[in-house]
A and B are shown apart, each in its own frame.
Chain A
Amino acid sequence: MQGRNAEGTLYRPLTYRAKTPSYWSRKDSPTNESLVDTRKPLVEYFIQEEGLSIRITLHNFPANSLEERISPQSQINRWKKQFDPLVAETIHTSSLAKGGFSGLFFEASGLQDQIETTVLGWSMQLSAEHFRNLSHYAEEAYRQMRADYTLKAVGPSDLIFKHKFSIIEFANSFELIEEIPSST
Chain B
Amino acid sequence: MNIIKRITVFFGSIYFALVLILLAALSAIAGTFIESHTHSHLYAVYSVYQHPIFILLLWGFFLNIFLSTCRRWPFRVKHIPFIITHIGLLMILAGILYKSLYGKQGTLVLLEGSGQDEIIINPSKGIQIEQKSISGPPHQKAMIPLDLTPGKRLQAANSPAFEDVYMEVLGYYPHCRQTVETWIKGDFCVISGLPPISVTPFDDTKPFIKKAAKIQLLPLPSLPWDLIALKARDPDAAFKAVYAENYTKPLTGIPSEHRLSAVIPTLLFIEDPSKQVHLYSFDATGTIHTEIFTQEMPDRYVVYDQGFRGYCQWADLPYSPLVHSEEDLEKRKMDLLKTELRSAEETSSPLCLPLELLRKACLINSLDFPDTTVDFLYTWNASNTLLMTHNSSLKSQVTQCLRAIDWNLVSEELLNGCYWTSYILHELDKRAAQGIDVWTSLKQLNWPFLDDLQTDISKDSLTTPLQKLIPQLVGQIFYLSPVLPPRPLDSRPTVAWLCSLLLLHGIHLDAIPKPLQVPAQSLKIECPISFKYTPTTPLKKYEDNTPLIHLKISHRDLQESVYLRYDAAMNHLKQPVLNGQYLLRFQPLYEKIPYRVRLRQARQINYPDSSQPYSFEADVIVTDNRSGTPEEATLSMNRVYETWDGYRFYLANITPSEVGFVKRVQIVVNLDPGKYWLTYPGGVMVVIGSLLLFWLKPYSQHNKR
Residues of A within 8 A of B (CB): 94-104, 126-127, 129-130, 133, 136-138, 172, 175-176, 179-182, 184
Contacts and interface: CB of A to CB of B under 8 A. Distances in A.
A72 to B, nearest CB: 10
A137 B600 CA distance: 22
- Residue of A96, A104, A179 contacting most chain B CB atoms (<10 Å): A179
B137 A100 contact: no
A181 B112 contact: no
B161 interface: no
A95 B660 contact: yes
A95 to B, nearest CB: 3
A184 B570 contact: yes
Interface stretch (B113-121, B176-184, B370-378): B113-121
Q: Which 5 residue pairs of A and B lie closest in terms of their CB atoms, listed nearest first?
A: A100-B113, A95-B660, A127-B662, A98-B601, A179-B115
A164 B661 CA distance: 24
A130 B599 CA distance: 13
Interface in B630-663: 659-663
Given A179-B113, A180-B114, A182-B116, A100 B598 contact: no
B661 A99 contact: no
B393 interface: no
B136 interface: yes
26 contacts: A95-B659, A95-B660, A97-B601, A97-B660, A97-B663, A99-B112, A99-B113, A100-B112, A101-B113, A102-B661, A102-B662, A104-B660, A126-B113, A127-B113, A127-B662, A136-B137, A136-B306, A137-B136, A138-B136, A172-B601, A179-B114, A180-B111, A180-B113, A180-B114, A184-B109, A184-B571
Nearest to B128: A184
B300 to A, nearest CB: 11
B488 interface: no
Contacts of B138: 181
Contacts of A101: 112-113, 662
Contact of A100 (B114, B136, B571): B114
B660 A96 contact: yes
Contact of A182 (B114, B136, B660): B114
B113 A130 contact: yes
B600 A175 contact: yes
Nearest to A97: B662
Contacts of A129: 111, 662
Nearest to B590: A184
Contacts of A137: 136-137
Nearest to B139: A136
B291 to A, nearest CB: 21
Contacts of A94: 659
A97 B112 contact: yes
Contacts of B660: 95-97, 102-104
A97 B661 contact: yes
Given A95-B659, A130-B113, 12 more contacts: A99-B601, A100-B112, A127-B662, A130-B111, A130-B114, A133-B137, A175-B600, A179-B114, A179-B115, A179-B598, A181-B137, A182-B114
A178 to B, nearest CB: 9
Nearest to A173: B600
Given A98-B600, A99-B601, A138-B136, A181 B661 contact: no
Nearest to B120: A184
Interface in B571-590: 571
A170 to B, nearest CB: 14
A104 B570 CA distance: 30
A102 B662 CA distance: 6
B690 to A, nearest CB: 48
A175 B113 CA distance: 8
